[in-house]
């Protein structure tokens, strides 16, 4: 089996959080999608070319799929870890590039705390990638 008991807390907590976030975005209105897109475009300018509704759906489906992958025990830890590391890395890059979220590029402002906490997801993703114990 690809899921070991010692990985359960990392996968369950991050998976449930991301799955819930993705499901919540499935019914995102155009204005909210445009706001999320504008923040994401600070870090990834190519996202400006998408329609806000398309961006919102893509984000919702991506988060839902990642959350489900983390929760499903048959998804290999490397796949789940890569997905979580890439996703949280992108969020942290957006945090770093969005004006007003940091004091100095690292320490969060009050507005940045909600995104800065995603550093914990990066740690969880890296832990899944670096875990070399074999599942039994």
pLDDT in tens, 74-132: 999 999 999 999 999 999 999 999 999 999 888 999 999 988 888 999 999 999 999 87
Using alpha carbons, select from 112, 85, 101 the residue that is nearest to residue 14. Answer: 85
Instruction: Give the pLDDT band of residue 135 (cuts 50, 70, 90).
Output: low
**Element counts in the chain: helices (H) and strands (E):** 6, 0
- Does residue 41 lie within any of the structural domains? yes
Domain count for the chain: 1
This prediction's pTM:
0.89
- Does residue 19 lie within any of the structural domains? yes
- Does residue 136 lie within any of the structural domains? no
What is the per-residue pLDDT for 83?
Answer: 97
- Does residue 24 lie within any of the structural domains? yes
- Does residue 82 lie within any of the structural domains? yes
- Does residue 65 lie within any of the structural domains? yes
pLDDT digits (tens, 9 = 90+) for 48-62: 999 999 999 999 999
Enclosing domain of residue 98: 7-130
- Does residue 2 lie within any of the structural domains? no
């Amino acid at each position: 089996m690809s899921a070991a008991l010692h990985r359960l807390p990392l996968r369950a907590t991050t998976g449930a959080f991301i799955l819930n976030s993705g499901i919540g975005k499935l019914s995102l209105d155009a204005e909210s999608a445009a706001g999320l897109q504008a923040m994401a475009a600070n870090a990834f300018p190519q996202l400006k070319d998408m329609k806000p509704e398309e961006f919102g759906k893509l984000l919702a489906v991506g988060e839902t799929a990642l959350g489900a992958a983390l929760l499903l025990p048959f998804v290999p830890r490397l796949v789940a870890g890569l997905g979580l590391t890439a996703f949280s890395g992108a969020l942290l890059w957006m945090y770093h590039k969005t004006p007003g979220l940091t004091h100095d590029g690292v320490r969060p402002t009050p507005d940045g705390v909600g995104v800065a906490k995603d550093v914990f997801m990066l740690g969880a993703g890296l832990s899944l990638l670096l875990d070399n114990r074999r599942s039994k």
